[in-house]
Structure 1
């Protein structure tokens, strides 16, 4: 039995909604921030086997886990940490 892929809808700057597969999410206790890594649902791998990945900082709004807000990652420090988590995740999946 396969595990169902968690998906979210993210609107673009024009208000068009796009479906994304959640790759993983993680929390950073030291800064009390949460991050989510997603890929476009309708996207496949490119010729080199790579998949486009997006990452956001997110905050939950209340008790409903489906009610949250996404924010762009703005600092180099945040990007370095997220890239390290993506690399760790990717390496674990290749095992």
Structure 2
């Protein structure tokens, strides 16, 4: 794993734990929130033809072992902003890979 990569464990409503890799975190002044985009670890292994499963949530950073609290995206405007951030992120990744 390269430096800078971080993993989180996401626990669903049934108590199931999933190890996930954080792709991107950012703050939005427009919405006054912080956001995290992550993908389950192993979801992009070996089969590059499949789409990457990306989850997006707003979050309140937390202290200590429990970390923060993930909250669902509430508005279409937030989804539009997140989609723009994702597109920019992957465009920049592609440029770095081509260098």
* Secondary structure in structure 2 of the residue aligned to 1:94: helix
Cα distance in 2 for residues equivalent to 1:93 and 1:78: 22
Cα distance in 1 for residues equivalent to 2:52 and 2:91: 15
Query: TM-score when scaled to structure 2?
Result: 0.82
Compared CA separation, residues 73 and 67, structure 1 to 2 (3 A): same
Cα distance in 1 for residues equivalent to 2:84 and 2:65: 25
Question: Match for residue 61 of structure 2?
Answer: 60
CA RMSD of aligned residues (A): 2.2
My pick for the range that moved more, 40-49 or 17-26, is: 40-49
Cα distance in 2 for residues equivalent to 1:7 and 1:83: 22
- Unaligned runs of 5+ residues in structure 2 are none
- Unaligned runs of 5+ residues in structure 1 are none
**Which 4+ runs in 1 deviate beyond 3 A?**
none
